[in-house]
A and B are shown apart, each in its own frame.
Chain A
């Protein structure tokens, strides 16, 4: 029966090529606009670390006070003083501090020119808590952190560029004139958005080249290449005084496995802030936050407003296309009232008429989906014109998007056909036969 209805449907669609083309184009454009904008939105709003996102938290402490904080919100990073105090307290299963650094690397030929490389200064827990996969070696231990060892982990890409991808564990590398010991080479790992550094860096920039041991970077006065935010009158006149200032620049993360751990950690933060008030460092009551990965990405507004607005507008566009399709299907179906009358008189039930027209609509949907797919593919190649290059490169046409495009097109068209098909099924055979 389905095949017969499909055959009928296609024949009927051929009868009014203009109307059919119009519907197919409306569905095609509508679904393509929605899918292109959705593919970008999907790329920027995804969960970068799905299996652990609810166990990783950003602690925030209001070190600026109600008059200078961000409209009631504590700053999104720690000052050096708070960072060191909180990390020394060891109140979480795992904890890390990090900041972005830009260094120079000299490819081994001494006459070559240096290249700039980007990475993060991190503590040892960074690797296990974010589940960084290793190709060779491993991260470093807490005792290395305490010993302020000159350890570095290279990424596979950087190791490839510098050493041709060899197992370099145990070898040395000179970065900005200082020697570091390579303890591990990480496999490709580039969570997107880069949740762990969104306060400081763009969430979608090129992947890092290395991770150096935080205490070593601090000893070498390696400046942050990222954000530094201060309040009030600044009195520091050099690195050491800057460390003691209220400037925030170190990004903290903690891993907390159970909800009771979370509650306990929150109490610890409140206690710490209250103690600071007690000793007179803060002149305001405790104001702390503890957000998990997704809440943090939301708070940091990682999804660009352009992406959301364009998706909303494109969805509205699709909705209008569907309204358009309802009208055209109605016109098309009702034009065949006479034919429906004959079929009904010959014994077709309402149900069968209904099914027949829904199948016809599905054929339109399929064609619209096909066109939509084509337009989406064209649009994806032009997505670089519409969004920032860093974001545009994340959007791609994959199998799931192809499937989604077709499914959305067919389902939407069939849904749009419910009313016109119902009207068609309501046709009174007697009326039609009489008027003929």
Chain B
């Protein structure tokens, strides 16, 4: 196939050529970046939390009266007993936070007491001796807390327990050689805390981009939060009894003591709901970007069909002449396919620059990551195929132009 005559012919359609190329370039820039955003957001949605989400729910229990530390601690014990008596419940733990909650307590971690800048940041969970078992977190080294290690923490009390259980991600950050068990670290205190256990995975409470560099870095302290505002009860249910237990739990708690506030709207949440809420905006972005991608590709494709159809209509006579001079159907078909390929190639060439330009801007303004080359290559292939696909029908119509057209006036 001769390329030269195609280029000569394109010179006579500068505006149309330029418009198709420009449209392809812009489409490439948007589609690549949108696909990248979709991929990143979707990968958030499926982030494992390390806990047995299918059988867990959380009760947000706010006290109706202001309790002292001791009163709150006693009330919590009564509540735990009431919850444990429910037929569908097999374990309960009181907590100050839970994975995927959003926000929560986090502490700077250092390896030396006098160190000013942090080594890393850890999401802080407080839990009793039932915490690991209730959440279904897998202990991969060391031991669980003993009941006598758990201390109450009241309003604005601050102390560092001597022992802690941490996630593997945090252990690896602090002690990359894999020998974290039994070692100490410091957490905004001059007193050390010693690692007595390591769990396979425990997602941070926070899900914002701020937490991204510290993904899965969490620690658990043997503390029972006895705060005046209230407490979260994390409840593990027997298989298949989640819904039943979620209905019964607030009833049992109110029967035990009515001076509490469990919101009927969001006071009891399953982990499916918690996960749904945590990644609401991620899912929204993925949906929006997908819609835009699909509609954009459709419109670009349709635009190419429209313009090529016009060109075919305009050149009927020339096509007739070529046919009369011996060009086959196939030659004409190839002519239009090649023409589109050349324009698309120019389009994606400009598009690559625009793609990286847009990505750079997103990186700078929104702390996004750099676009992997695979997306750009993938996008180029998609657009070249789209162009060929869009041009096929008009090109086929062109190839069917009979040679007799040559004799008709334009």
A interface, CB within 8 angstroms of B? 18-19, 22, 25-26, 29, 33, 37, 67-68, 102, 104, 106, 113-116, 176-178, 220-221, 223, 225, 230-239, 241-242, 304-306, 308-310, 313-314, 316-317, 319-321, 323-324, 326-328, 330-332, 334-335, 385-389, 419, 423, 435-436
* Contact between chains at B29 and A331 (CB < 8 Å): no
16 pairs from A and B in contact (CB 8 Å cutoff): A29-B295, A37-B288, A67-B117, A104-B62, A104-B261, A113-B64, A113-B258, A113-B260, A114-B261, A231-B188, A237-B158, A320-B300, A323-B26, A331-B306, A335-B313, A435-B409
**Binary contact track B1-27/A, C-beta < 8 Å → 1, others 0:** 000000000000001100110110011
Q: A386-B284, A389-B280 are in contact. Are A106 and B64 (CB under 8 A)?
A: yes
State the CA gap A26–B365 with chains docked (Å). 29
Q: B181 contacts the other chain (Cβ, under 8 Å)?
A: no
Q: A116-B261, A335-B314 are in contact. Are A29 and B299 (CB under 8 A)?
A: yes
B interface, CB within 8 angstroms of A? 15-16, 19-20, 22-23, 26-27, 29-30, 33-34, 37, 62-66, 108, 113, 116-117, 154-159, 188-190, 209, 227-229, 254, 258-261, 263, 280-281, 283-285, 287-289, 292, 295-296, 299-300, 302-303, 306-307, 309-311, 313-314, 358, 362, 365-367, 409-410
State the CA gap A68–B237 with chains docked (Å). 43
* Contact between chains at A386 and B287 (CB < 8 Å): yes
Instruction: Identify the closest chain B residue to A237 (Cβ).
Output: B157
Q: Which residues of chain B are within 8 angstroms of A304 by Cβ–Cβ distance? A: 281
* Contact between chains at B302 and A22 (CB < 8 Å): yes
* Contact between chains at A306 and B285 (CB < 8 Å): yes
Q: Which residues of chain A are within 8 angstroms of B29 by Cβ–Cβ distance? A: 316
* Contact between chains at A234 and B189 (CB < 8 Å): yes
B165 CB to closest chain A CB (Å) equals: 21
* Contact between chains at B156 and A242 (CB < 8 Å): yes
* Contact between chains at B34 and A102 (CB < 8 Å): no
* Contact between chains at A310 and B285 (CB < 8 Å): yes
B306 CB to closest chain A CB (Å) equals: 5
Q: Which residues of chain B are within 8 angstroms of A319 by Cβ–Cβ distance? A: 26
With A335-B313, A386-B288 already in contact, 12 other A-B pairs whose C-beta atoms are closer than 8 Å: A26-B303, A67-B117, A223-B228, A304-B281, A309-B362, A310-B289, A313-B292, A320-B26, A323-B26, A331-B309, A334-B310, A387-B284
Q: Which residues of chain A are within 8 angstroms of B33 by Cβ–Cβ distance? A: 313
Instruction: Identify the closest chain A residue to B267 (Cβ).
Output: A116
* Contact between chains at B155 and A239 (CB < 8 Å): yes
State the CA gap A225–B64 with chains docked (Å). 15
Q: A313-B33, A319-B26 are in contact. Are A327 and B16 (CB under 8 A)?
A: yes
State the CA gap A394–B156 with chains docked (Å). 36
Q: A242-B156, A313-B289, A385-B287 are in contact. Are A330 and B15 (CB under 8 A)?
A: yes
Q: A106-B64, A330-B16 are in contact. Are A22 and B306 (CB under 8 A)?
A: yes
Q: A238-B157, A387-B284, A419-B15 are in contact. Are A68 and B306 (CB under 8 A)?
A: no
State the CA gap A237–B367 with chains docked (Å). 38
Other-chain residue from B27, B116, B159, B227 in contact with A320 (beta carbon distance below 8 A): B27
* Contact between chains at B158 and A176 (CB < 8 Å): no
Q: A22-B303, A22-B306 are in contact. Are A176 and B188 (CB under 8 A)?
A: no
* Contact between chains at B263 and A320 (CB < 8 Å): no
State the CA gap A386–B290 with chains docked (Å). 11
B102 CB to closest chain A CB (Å) equals: 10
Q: Which residues of chain B are within 8 angstroms of A387 by Cβ–Cβ distance? A: 281, 284
Other-chain residue from A233, A236, A327, A385 in contact with B284 (beta carbon distance below 8 A): A385
State the CA gap A307–B62 with chains docked (Å). 33
Q: Which residues of chain A are within 8 angstroms of B310 by Cβ–Cβ distance? A: 331-332, 334-335
A376 CB to closest chain B CB (Å) equals: 14
Please give me the 10 A-B residue pairs with the lowest Cβ-Cβ distance, nearest first: A331-B310, A114-B64, A242-B156, A324-B303, A327-B19, A386-B284, A116-B261, A305-B366, A104-B64, A320-B26
Q: A22-B302, A330-B19, A436-B409 are in contact. Are A306 and B292 (CB under 8 A)?
A: no
State the CA gap A387–B209 with chains docked (Å). 16
State the CA gap A26–B27 with chains docked (Å). 13
* Contact between chains at B116 and A388 (CB < 8 Å): no
B344 CB to closest chain A CB (Å) equals: 14
* Contact between chains at A308 and B366 (CB < 8 Å): yes
Q: Which residues of chain A are within 8 angstroms of B306 by Cβ–Cβ distance? A: 18-19, 22, 327-328, 331
Other-chain residue from A104, A313, A423 in contact with B63 (beta carbon distance below 8 A): A104
* Contact between chains at A388 and B280 (CB < 8 Å): yes
* Contact between chains at B30 and A320 (CB < 8 Å): yes
* Contact between chains at B281 and A176 (CB < 8 Å): no
B82 CB to closest chain A CB (Å) equals: 16
State the CA gap A328–B157 with chains docked (Å). 70
Q: Which residues of chain B are within 8 angstroms of A326 by Cβ–Cβ distance? A: 19
* Contact between chains at A67 and B116 (CB < 8 Å): yes
Instruction: Identify the closest chain A residue to B303 (Cβ).
Output: A324
Q: A22-B303, A116-B261 are in contact. Are A316 and B26 (CB under 8 A)?
A: yes
State the CA gap A420–B310 with chains docked (Å). 14
* Contact between chains at A331 and B307 (CB < 8 Å): yes
Other-chain residue from B65, B155, B365 in contact with A221 (beta carbon distance below 8 A): B155
Q: Which residues of chain A are within 8 angstroms of B259 by Cβ–Cβ distance? A: 113-114
Other-chain residue from A115, A236, A320, A435 in contact with B156 (beta carbon distance below 8 A): A236
* Contact between chains at B410 and A435 (CB < 8 Å): yes
State the CA gap A228–B156 with chains docked (Å). 10
State the CA gap A164–B216 with chains docked (Å). 48
Q: Which residues of chain B are within 8 angstroms of A305 by Cβ–Cβ distance? A: 209, 365-367
Q: Which residues of chain B are within 8 angstroms of A314 by Cβ–Cβ distance? A: 292
* Contact between chains at B303 and A223 (CB < 8 Å): no
Q: Which residues of chain A are within 8 angstroms of B300 by Cβ–Cβ distance? A: 320, 324
Q: Which residues of chain A are within 8 angstroms of B281 by Cβ–Cβ distance? A: 304, 306, 387-388
B236 CB to closest chain A CB (Å) equals: 26
* Contact between chains at A223 and B23 (CB < 8 Å): no
Which of A67, A177, A225 counts the most chain B CB atoms within 10 A?
A177
State the CA gap A231–B23 with chains docked (Å). 52
Which of B158, B227, B289, B367 counts the most chain A CB atoms within 10 A?
B158
State the CA gap A29–B27 with chains docked (Å). 15
* Contact between chains at A317 and B280 (CB < 8 Å): no
Other-chain residue from B65, B155, B254, B258 in contact with A177 (beta carbon distance below 8 A): B65
State the CA gap A102–B261 with chains docked (Å). 11
State the CA gap A326–B189 with chains docked (Å). 66
State the CA gap A67–B156 with chains docked (Å). 25
Instruction: Identify the closest chain B residue to A316 (Cβ).
Output: B30
State the CA gap A104–B263 with chains docked (Å). 12
* Contact between chains at A25 and B280 (CB < 8 Å): no
Which of A18, A234, A331 counts the most chain B CB atoms within 10 A?
A331
A215 CB to closest chain B CB (Å) equals: 18
* Contact between chains at B117 and A223 (CB < 8 Å): no
Which of A242, A310, A320 counts the most chain B CB atoms within 10 A?
A320
A73 CB to closest chain B CB (Å) equals: 14
* Contact between chains at A328 and B307 (CB < 8 Å): yes
Instruction: Identify the closest chain B residue to A242 (Cβ).
Output: B156
Q: A230-B188, A308-B365, A330-B15 are in contact. Are A388 and B62 (CB under 8 A)?
A: no
B228 CB to closest chain A CB (Å) equals: 6
Which of A177, A314, A324 counts the most chain B CB atoms within 10 A?
A324
